[in-house]
Amino acid sequence: MPIEFERVPARKPVPEPASLSFITAIATLAVTLFVGAALTFALWPTDVSSNTPSLLAYAVGLSVAAWAFSCCIWLGYADVTRSSAVAYNVECDALEQRCHNAASVPLIVLGHTWCFSSDPVENQLAGILDGSVKAVARPSAAQAGVEVKARWIDMPGRTYAAGNMLNEFGRHTRLVDWLYEHLFKHIVDALQALPANARLDVAAHVSASVELEWAIQALEDHIRRLRPDLKVLVTPFPQGIPLF
């Protein structure tokens, strides 16, 4: 199944742990003491004596308290920013690991079927493996008394004489319908086993007289009749279906 690694967000840069150097601490403390003392003297009431311990307490004590509070706020904010980046990256790693786990799950063949003959015996895998099913000469449908080494599917109970393109178009149209019905009988259990609302990608190649668009629409109709909840995406391959 396709894994969308693009949905994994990019990691955020993690800042270094916040720290306050001795020089920075002394410098900020000196500035804070200077500003605190200046504000204390400027705002000190004129009717109150300045020769009192309260003036020193306000000038120094409040300045030191403001400096300590500012340092704690800055260190706390830096630590929260770093912790947030670390947690974000951990979640990104977990999401990427889940994508890797999903991508490492081997693909499972839920169902398979093929039909190259209207004879059920010839459609069995054993006949292909042991070589009993071969492309042998068979009577021509166009000329009596002539054998050709070719393969075509004769629909049970329906005969079509060789003729013009209109006859061939009608035969191919009914043959495609018959093939769809025959194939979906063998993979209906696999379709029912798919999860609800799953996405089903279908590669389609049609080599017949019918229009490719009509064959694709008929294929989608068959799938939706069996599983209307599936998100079906049919990709046409006019030149053939690549194996990988």
Task: Indicate whether 167 belongs to any domain.
Answer: yes
Domain interval for residue 33: 5-104
Residues 129 and 219 in one domain: yes
Residues 78 and 32 in one domain: yes
Q: Is residue 220 part of a domain?
A: yes
Residue that is last in its domain, among 104, 134, 153: 104
Instruction: For strands 147-148 and 199-204, give the pairing.
Output: unpaired
In one-letter notation, the amino acid at residue 2 is P
Tens digits of residue pLDDT in 155-180: 666 665 565 666 677 778 888 888 88
Residue 151 placed within a domain = yes
Q: What is the mean pLDDT of residues 26-34?
A: 86
Give the number of domains in the chain.
2
| Assigned domain for 155 exists | yes
**Whole-angstrom Cα distance, residue 206 to residue 175?**
12
3-state secondary structure of 111: coil
Predicted local distance difference test score (pLDDT) of residue 242: 53
- pLDDT of residue 14 exceeding 70, the answer is yes
Within this chain, do residues 168 and 88 fall inside the same structural domain, yes or no? no
Any domain includes 75: yes
Give the pLDDT confidence score for residue 243 in this predicted structure: 45
Global pTM exceeds 0.75: no
Q: How far is CA 207 from CA 42, 114, 140, 222, in A?
A: 96, 16, 21, 19
Question: pLDDT tens for residues 59-74?
Answer: 787 888 888 888 888 8
- On whether both 23 and 77 belong to a single domain, the answer is yes
How far is the CA of 44 from the CAs of 30, 48, 64, in angstroms? Answer: 21, 8, 18
Q: Are residues 23 and 63 in the same domain?
A: yes
Q: Percent of the chain having pLDDT more than 70?
A: 80
241 in a structural domain: no
**Domain match, 231 and 142 both:** yes
